[in-house]
């Protein structure tokens, strides 16, 4: 199909996966912020470097299979990433309790500064991927409009 070829070519699958990861991580961070003073609450997070490693592996596999120009991004499930079906670009994050933070008297392991840093970094990654994807889609829209 023409649309499938367009949406699974070039950087679009990578940008889509990056947006999906950043979006889910932002929800996770928001939950941590919402529970910052909840007794017995343990912050949860996922490894950004783990996702990047899996994304890089999927990009390399796609590149060797098709020259990198088209095809689905074959992400695989990991400890923190649950992929729905082989070759699927749909996934959910499986967060883990963070460690290394001070455990407060209410048995909460809050790290306000770390949360704010994670929030800013993830928001910037989301914005960058969204802007790049918007540019790709705008190019496609422009090409279609000139042919119509």
CA angle 16, 144, 1 (to 5 degrees): 60
Query: How does pLDDT run across 123-148, given as a tens digit for each residue?
Result: 999 999 999 999 988 988 888 888 65
The pLDDT, as a whole number, for residue 140 is 84
Q: How many domains does the chain have?
A: 1
* CA 48/CA 61 separation, integer angstroms: 20
Token readout for 66 is 């098709």
Token readout for 135 is 């540019």
* CA 129/CA 16 separation, integer angstroms: 8
Q: For residue 1, name the pLDDT band (cuts at 50, 70, 90).
A: very low
Strands of the chain, DSSP E: 44-45, 81-83, 91-93, 96-97
Enclosing domain of residue 37: 2-147
Cβ-Cβ contacts under 8 Å for 74 (sequence gap 6 or more): 58, 61, 62, 86, 87
Q: For residue 38, name the pLDDT band (cuts at 50, 70, 90).
A: confident
- Assess contact for 40 and 106: CB atoms under 8 A: yes
In this structure, the number of other CB atoms found within 10 A of the CB of residue 48 comes to 16
Q: Does residue 7 have a pLDDT over 60?
A: no
């Amino acid at each position: 199909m023409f649309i499938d070829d367009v949406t699974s070519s070039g950087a679009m699958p990578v940008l889509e996966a990056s947006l999906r990861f950043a979006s889910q991580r932002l929800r996770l961070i928001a939950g941590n912020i919402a529970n910052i003073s909840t007794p017995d609450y343990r912050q949860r997070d996922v490894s950004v470097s783990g996702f990047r490693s899996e994304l890089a592996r999927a990009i390399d596999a796609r590149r060797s299979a098709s020259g990198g120009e088209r095809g689905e991004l074959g992400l695989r499930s990991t400890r923190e990433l649950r992929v729905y079906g082989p070759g699927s670009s749909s996934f959910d994050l499986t967060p883990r309790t963070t460690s290394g933070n001070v455990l407060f008297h209410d048995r909460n392991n809050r790290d306000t500064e770390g949360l704010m840093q994670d929030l800013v970094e993830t928001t910037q990654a989301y914005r960058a991927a969204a802007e790049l994807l918007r540019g790709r889609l705008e190019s496609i829209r422009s090409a279609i409009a000139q042919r119509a």
